[in-house]
Structure 1
Amino acid sequence: MAEEQTLRSEQVFDGRLLKVYRDEVALPDGRHSVREWIDHPGASAVVPLFPDGTTVLVRQFRYPPRRFFLEVPAGKLDRPGEDPETVARRELEEETGWQARTLIHLASLYPCIGYSNELIHFYLARDLEPGRQQLAEGEWLEVVRMPLEEAFAKARRGEIADMKSTAALLLAEAFLQKNDKAVG
């Protein structure tokens, strides 16, 4: 198996969040092709777990698909090299008003390898205590508390249409089934 080699790279868009590139590459057979891709700083996503077996998700409007989504708390890394666990803690508190004394890393996955280098770090949050919700300017969301088992079922049935949230919930469910006798 051979890798594609970058021959030339042109940045075609420089946004606040995303940078878009058009690269010319040499294919393993010697031919050339073009790859358009998005440079993304990465993100962290958190499944909070309360002792009573509930969780909190957030419902918010997402402009590109123009609809509301039920999601796990999550957010992007603000600078290169930022610690994903620090981001997970920050986003959990900013979005939900809860802090986690314990974060368990579940996995780090690339959600869209065909056109982006984004890497999302997934965590299970335990030992939660009240913090202070501080939504970013222009951020509007509703915090939704529900039984964690209900969130797992929604993810399995495809009722949670956000891929990072479905992945986070299924990773948390697998972790808890393997490591805990009872959720909570």
Structure 2
Amino acid sequence: MADHALPYDTPEEWPVTATETPFSGKVTGVRTDVVRMPDGSTARRDYQTHPGSVAVVALDDEERVLVLRQYRHPVRHRLWELPAGLLDVPGEHPLRAAQRELYEEAHLKADDWRVLVDIYSTPGGSDEAIRVYLARGLAPAEGERFEAAEEEAEFEFDRVPVAELVGQVLAGELHNACLAVGVLALQAVLTGDGPDALRPADAPWPARPFQP
């Protein structure tokens, strides 16, 4: 038993005295807020506005994780990643978005879904919230394969043992945030209370509230 209070994040909102949107793109934008600090001073904060994202740690019966590699132009790298995507369909449940991404990117479905971890990707510069799901009981999806385009047309796929991915993350060989957080969380789950102790797939998500 811990001899001190466990840390946890708490919601808080400092007053915004002025705001503007210097850029608004198709999905994301840039907002500038003038924030009043507790001492009464003000500061400008520029950040990316983002609809949120979901990612999927798809774990097969041999404890291998499905990963895919694609080119990411902003960092000039071809990165190994998890199936993932934006919450860019109005009103879509995040679980449905995750199931859609697993189907579109890997042509797979899963029988068992759990919430693995919720994160803010870069809270100092973006309001993006990401929910990472654990998907088990994998099987080929029915119907036609989704027709990929642009960077997604160049996907490469692999299934890698959890322990190997953890080693590559710690060695600095894998850099995608969702992949790193997802496989490290999965390792903790597999060596701890097990996947059945995770939150259900429809667990509340205060960062991106949704209708059950």
Asked if these proteins are the same fold (TM beyond 0.5), I'd say yes
Alignment of 1:93-108 (within 5 A): 93-108=103-118
> What is residue 137 of structure 1 aligned with on the other side?
149
SS of structure 1 residue aligned to 2:192? helix
Task: For structure 1, list consecutive stretches of 5 or more residues without a partner in the other structure.
Answer: none
Structure 1 Cα separation of the partners of residues 162 and 34 of structure 2: 46
More strand by share: 1
> What is residue 181 of structure 2 aligned with on the other side?
167
Check the 8 A contact 1:3/1:27 in 2, yes or no. Answer: no
Show CA shifts across 1:137-173 (max 9, x none): 3223111222232222222322111112100111111
> What is residue 172 of structure 2 aligned with on the other side?
158
Structure 1 Cα separation of the partners of residues 70 and 99 of structure 2: 20
Structure 1 Cα separation of the partners of residues 33 and 57 of structure 2: 36
Structure 1 Cα separation of the partners of residues 47 and 132 of structure 2: 23
Greater mean deviation of Cα atoms: 137-146 or 99-108:
137-146
> What is residue 53 of structure 2 aligned with on the other side?
43
Alignment of 1:1-16 (within 5 A): 3-16=13-26
SS of structure 2 residue aligned to 1:149? helix
Confirm whether residue 17 of structure 1 aligns to residue 31 of structure 2. Answer: no
SS of structure 1 residue aligned to 2:51? coil
Query: How far apart are 1:80 and its partner, in Å?
Result: 4.6
Structure 2 Cα separation of the partners of residues 4 and 121 of structure 1: 25
Query: How far apart are 1:79 and its partner, in Å?
Result: 3.2
TM-score normalised to structure 2 length? 0.79
Task: For structure 2, list consecutive stretches of 5 or more residues without a partner in the other structure.
Answer: 1-11, 196-212
Confirm whether residue 121 of structure 1 aligns to residue 131 of structure 2. Answer: yes
**AA aligned opposite 1:57:** V
Structure 2 Cα separation of the partners of residues 147 and 36 of structure 1: 40
Show CA shifts across 1:10-39 (max 9, x none): 011111121111111211111121110111
**AA aligned opposite 1:52:** E
Query: How far apart are 1:81 and its partner, in Å?
Result: 4.3
**AA aligned opposite 1:177:** T
Structure 1 Cα separation of the partners of residues 169 and 70 of structure 2: 17
SS of structure 2 residue aligned to 1:179? coil
> What is residue 77 of structure 1 aligned with on the other side?
87
**AA aligned opposite 2:17:** L
Check the 8 A contact 1:41/1:80 in 2, yes or no. Answer: no
> What is residue 120 of structure 2 aligned with on the other side?
110
Structure 1 Cα separation of the partners of residues 57 and 13 of structure 2: 36
SS of structure 1 residue aligned to 2:187? helix
Structure 2 Cα separation of the partners of residues 135 and 53 of structure 1: 28
Root-mean-square deviation (CA), in Å?
A: 1.8
Say how many residue pairs are matched: 180
Check the 8 A contact 2:54/2:87 in 1, yes or no. Answer: yes
Check the 8 A contact 2:27/2:88 in 1, yes or no. Answer: no
